[in-house]
Structure 1
Amino acid sequence: MEYKVYRDENTIEKFQFLAQIRLEEFVKFPYLYQGSMAEEKEYAKEYQVPGAILITCSVAGEDIGVISGYPYQWNQGKSAEVEAELATMGIAMDEIYYIGEVILIEKYRNRGIGKQLEKMLVDTIKKDYKYALVITVERSLDDPDRPEGYHYKNGLREGTGFKRLKNEIIYHWPVKRKSGIREEENVVSVWVKPI
């Protein structure tokens, strides 16, 4: 396994891989994201900020996983309720680092690679930030597109010290349902932990 860190404007070097893996993996439940390369190019702009980090993992020269993030202050204003809740916890926006995603090609999952990517990112940021923040997509238990036997993996977040906030954020994105593709409101849970 080879890990490589990209920072600030250099994150764009791995944009194609990040976009590709997001389009392939996030179409699955619970994300059901039916994006396009044009939408991914727009999303990539979030990583063109000071403090952005993208770490890849490769095997024999082939990228198989990625973690990304940037200082949460660049996300400020997306949810007044979440920001107010963080403030009541005594957490300032400039103390938080947002971990955008940890994605692995399916055949490389459950080998500890995701944990290693997250550890590398946290080790890189902990001298400058006090908290890590992640979001998870959740859909109702009776969602018609929920695969049989599907269980949310929130225990993974709780088991690594993250605390779920009471408030959630709603994002809009194109969702691929069995009934077709449509723009939907998607509720995400917010998790934070000291680092």
Structure 2
Amino acid sequence: MITTRILTGEAVGEVLEDLARLRIAVFRDWPYLYDGDLDYERDYLKAYQSPGSVVVAAYDGQRMVGASTGAPMEDHAGDFAAAFAHRPEKLDEIFYCAESVLLPEYRGHGLGHAFFDGREAQGRALGRRYSTFCRVVRPDDHPAHPADYRPLDGFWRKRGYAPLPGVIAEFDWKDIGEASSTKKPLQFWMKSL
């Protein structure tokens, strides 16, 4: 039986180690191809202990099998403010739906909706007007692109999200098999709450 839990405040800190391991496992796959390490993950995930942040976690018994994170956009201003510099929305009006990670064997059972529902509810509770997330952009002819890969664009559109033209951030990480980190483009999508 899969259950979900909405975690805020101190409860977030209690699951960061599980979340770090899950991110490393899931993000090794396309399109991220992330060669992660626990030290980096622990440091990165500290941002989700801020007031207003949320983790929506999925459990199979006591084992975390999926999770999604969200936070007020200004908590990520250092990374994403430049991408929104020409937009009319103010950062303090936006709730940022960060990553969603789910082990492959648990996909297709509605947890993606639970992840968005929990994060969007947190955004509304904080009085945010918009919800946004970003997805990594890789070329279709990338050598690691799986032939059977199905992008989630249709799922996101059904939830009311649309890509924001020209709102692209860049983020560094090390791909599997690479010697060093390189910048990757991240396309933002948004909807009104």
| TM-score with structure 1 setting the length | 0.90
Q: Is the 8 A contact 1:85 1:165 kept in 2?
A: no
Distance 1:80 1:96 in 2: 11
1:75-131 Cα distance to aligned partner (Å, 9 max, x none): 1143454222332xxx22111111111211111100111212211222233132111
1:24-46 Cα distance to aligned partner (Å, 9 max, x none): 00011110110100110111121
Q: Is the 8 A contact 1:176 1:182 kept in 2?
A: no
In structure 2, the residue matched to 1:156 is 155
Moved over 3 A (4+): none
Map 1:13-162 to 2 at 5 A: 13-87=14-88, 91-127=89-125, 128-162=127-161
**Paired AA for residue 126 in structure 1:** R
Where structure 2 has 5 or more consecutive residues not aligned to the other structure, the ranges are none
Q: Is the 8 A contact 2:6 2:118 kept in 1?
A: no
Q: Is the 8 A contact 1:68 1:99 kept in 2?
A: yes
Map 1:4-19 to 2 at 5 A: 4-19=5-20
Q: Is the 8 A contact 1:103 1:114 kept in 2?
A: no
In structure 1, the residue matched to 2:174 is 174
Q: Which SS does the other structure have where 2:45 is aligned?
A: helix
In structure 2, the residue matched to 1:190 is 188
Q: Is the 8 A contact 2:56 2:69 kept in 1?
A: yes
